[in-house]
Structure 1
Amino acid sequence: MKRRQFLTTAGAGIATAGVAAPAIAQSSPEIRWRLTSGFPKSLDTIYGAADLMSKYVSEATDGKFQIQPFAAGEIVGTFQALDAVGNGTVEMAHSSSYYYVGKDPTFAFASAAPFALNTRQQNAWMYHGGGLDLYNEFYKKFNVYMLPGGATGAQMGGWFRKEVNTVADLAGLKFRIAGLTGEVLAKLGVIPQQIAGGDIYPALERGTIDAAEWVGPYDDEKLGFQKVAPYYYYPGFWEGTGMMHFFFNQQKWEELPNNYKTILRAGAAYANVDMVAKYDARNPAALKRLVAGGAQLRPFSQEILEASLKAAQEVYTDLSAKNPDFKKIYESMRAFRGEEYLWFQIAEFSFDNFMIRARSRL
């Protein structure tokens, strides 16, 4: 064999061996998953995270890994998403952890709870404060692996058919509220109602409920709450943030090649950042439109805030005494919150406070 022919043939063999077809096939298999969302398609911010994740994963894998999102109710309802993932009805979901506090109150702090963390603090706790590891240890009991998948920022306190100025005004109030907040406000006389997002407006319109909270101006305007409940309260002290999550069936997650897991982690992180950016960009104009259309902004009174804080601490103490999982995660969040506000009061709060007061001169 001639020398040049030998080298060409040998080189081709080495190159082929280096990128063997079976190895490529194994690392990038064809996968088709279904994702059930906890939200309606009309809410482009909160439902949009599922579309964004699906698009990201498809493009990053040249279409080999396809995720098809379904809105709440198309496969299962909002409050059945976690079970659907755990039992393998679907491979994954996009929802909010605190929807499942009926199973275990420990679910709450992954999303939000009264007087817990703001959005930046929640991300810091999840990614660098041990929160995500603690929660995935907990989620194993439900055959689920979880990644953060969006945040709302601090939420509004909701829409009320009548003014609430004192704790006495809360007595008997039928309030659509999610997570542990219902248990906290029940101590003040509220009758909590857990209703999926798409069902809130008709309940409010018919008077089945007296008040409802969802997220904030951009979503609330879309849902039309201002048409049937004029008083718009703030802040939503039960949601200094509202973190969403991607839930994965534990076995399906573990079966994935590592490169696909990395792509899912990156896609979830991108969706996490993108959602809060959308809300921050779109809420100001929506708030202006709501007020121009007759919405009446009202702050919760100091009396209501103080009474709610006291009730929340009582609930957390009680749950910690009888639920080891809750105690472990609550204590982690509580310690982290203390350190975060030690820092935030120095720089973040001082800067924001000055800039808010100076806004009219800028």
Structure 2
Amino acid sequence: MKLKALLMSAVAVTALAVPALAQEVTLRMQTHYATEHPTGKLLAAFIDDVQTMSDGEISIEMFYSSSVVATVETFDAAINGILDCDATGGAYQTGKNPAFQFVGDIMGGYDTPWQQYSWLYYGGGYDAAQELYNAQGMQLIGWSIYGQESLSSSKPIAGFEDVKGWKFRSPPGMETEIFQELGASPIVMDFTEIFTALETGIIDGADASGLANNVGLGLYDIVKHATYPGFHSMPSDHLACNKDVWDGLSESQRRIIDTAWQKLSFQVALSNEKANAEAAAKLKAEGVTLYDWSEEDRREFRRAAQVAWEDWGSRSPEAGALLKSHKEYLGQLGLISN
């Protein structure tokens, strides 16, 4: 009997000493970026970080170039279980709730990615945004922000006086309202139509992307003026996962994904800052004129932006709550007067 008791005790101790086998999980994610795009390459590094830090416990199947569903449908695909996570951006979901504008592209708010990240992590933004995502059955994991976009133009664009009557390609939504407030003539058109529209003079300029990306698009083979550093638009991409899937992960798995995403966020902003600075030097040498708007003109743009903010903030309670959070934090940073 003593021997049996000793054996049973030894088995119990051994069972306690051996940890339970970790549950392996595969997460299906979709991004609108291509594998060869700089952000696509950083997403591949993110996947490697997650799989390495989890010792293979977490696998990620990434679908690049919106290969499963259209970019704007990625969020719904994650909600409905076709995918597990959405690595596109909140701005695509303003049709669900106008509040997504304030997590997708605040327009004229923050000057740098670091300020905008700081609202998320230190300005109460994460909790405020999480309520919006959770109401849709999703969990916001984090952002990636590549920095300010640059306006490209066939004529000088040195300040807000130059945008009066300026015909340019604009994405739909809040941006058109802001530039109309400043007297510009925004024309909503597909991204793929920009090059031909500039060549034929249908538009004077375009809001396409950041300076380095605009170089890659060949815009400065046609037009010779641009704003840099930008001031008007700094879109946030996000990682958002189905909440049931996220809640089903272990705490260590969630922390690994969060940590790897924060590394990605840092690398996206840092690498684009370098690429844009290199592009600026190259363009100046080639005779392209770059305009850094004055503090006064930036304030005038921000004034026009706030008119549009208030309108969008009135469109849903969640939009109003997010706008209030941004305004309070922008006030703390001295960027607006509350």
Fold-level similarity (TM above 0.5): yes
Unpaired stretches in structure 2, ≥5 consecutive residues: none
SS at match of 2:314: helix
Which structure 2 residues correspond to residues 93-112 of structure 1 after superposition, within 5 A?
93-112=86-105
Cα distance change, pair 313–249 in 1 and its aligned pair in 2 (3 A): same
Name the structure 2 match of 1:253: 246
Structure-2 separation of matches of 1:114 and 1:143: 26
Other-structure match for 2:262: 269
Q: Is the 8 A contact 2:165 2:184 kept in 1?
A: yes
Deviation at 1:202, TM superposition (A): 5.7
**Counterparts in 2 of 1:277-316, with a 5 A limit?**
277-300=270-293, 305=298, 307-316=300-309
The one of 76, 82, 89 equivalent to 1:83 is 76
Aligned residues: CA RMSD: 3.2
**Aligned residue identity for 2:118:** A
Aligned pairs for 1:126-141 within 5 A: 126-141=120-135
What is the CA–CA distance in structure 1 between the aligned matches of 2:193 and 2:135, rounded to whole Å?
30
Distance 1:199 1:9 in 2: 75
What is the CA-CA distance between 1:312 and the residue it aligns to? 1.6
Give the alignment of 1:1-362 within 5 angstroms.
Answer: 11=10, 14-20=13-19, 23-24=20-21, 27-29=22-24, 31-44=25-38, 46-117=39-110, 118-153=112-147, 155-164=148-157, 167=161, 169-171=163-165, 173-177=167-171, 180-187=174-181, 188-193=183-188, 195=190, 201=195, 204=198, 210-239=204-233, 241-300=234-293, 305=298, 307-341=300-334
Identity %: 22
Structure 1 residues 112 and 68: alpha-carbon distance in aligned structure 2, compared to 1, 3 A threshold: same
CA drift of 1:157 comes to 2.7
Q: CA contact under 8 A between 2:85 and 2:242: conserved in structure 1? A: yes
SS of 2:270's equivalent in the other structure is helix
Confirm or deny: 8 A CA contact 1:146 1:248 kept in the other structure.
yes
1:28 aligned partner, one-letter code: Q
Give the gaps of 5 or more residues in structure 1. 343-362
State the AA in 1 paired with 2:325: S
What's the offset of the Cα at 1:90?
Answer: 1.3
Hey, what's the Cα distance between the residues in 1 that align with 2:75 and 2:292? 35
Distance (Å, rounded) in 2 between the aligned partners of 1:168 and 1:297: 14
Change (3 A) 1:172 1:340: closer
Q: Note if contact 2:78-2:86 (Cα within 8 Å) is conserved in structure 1.
A: yes
Contact 2:169 2:188 in 1 (8 A): yes
SS across alignment from 1:341: coil
On the 8 A contact 1:35/1:93 being kept in 2, the answer is yes
1:253-299 superposed Cα distances (whole Å, 9 cap, x missing partner): 12222221111111111111111121233332222223333432134
| Offset, 1:134 | 0.9
Are residues 136 and 180 of structure 1, via their aligned partners in 2, closer, same or farther at CA, if it must alter by over 3 Å?
same
Residues 320 and 260 (structure 1 numbering): CA distance in 2 closer, same or farther, change over 3 Å?
same
Q: Residue 333 of structure 1 aligns to which amino acid in structure 2? A: H
How far off is 1:221 after superposition?
2.4
Aligned position for 1:347:
none
Quick check: 1:233–1:300 contact (8 Å CA) kept in 2?
yes
- 1:199 CA drift (Å): 6.7
Distance 1:204 1:13 in 2: 75
C-alpha change, 1:43 and 1:103, in structure 2 (3 Å) is same
Query: Structure 1 residues 57 and 175, CA, compared in 2 at 3 Å: closer, same or farther?
Result: same
Cα–Cα, structure 1 residues 186 and 102, in superposed 2: closer, same or farther, change >3 Å? Answer: farther
Contact 2:108 2:301 in 1 (8 A): no
Distance, in Å, in 2 between the alignment partners of 1:77 and 1:205 is 29
- Counterpart of 2:284 in 1: which secondary structure? helix
* CA positional deviation for 1:126: 0.9
CA distance in 2 between counterparts of 1:206 and 1:42 reads 30
2:144 aligned counterpart, secondary structure: strand
Distance 2:82 2:68 in 1: 9
Amino acid at match of 2:46: M
**C-alpha displacement of 1:182:** 2.5
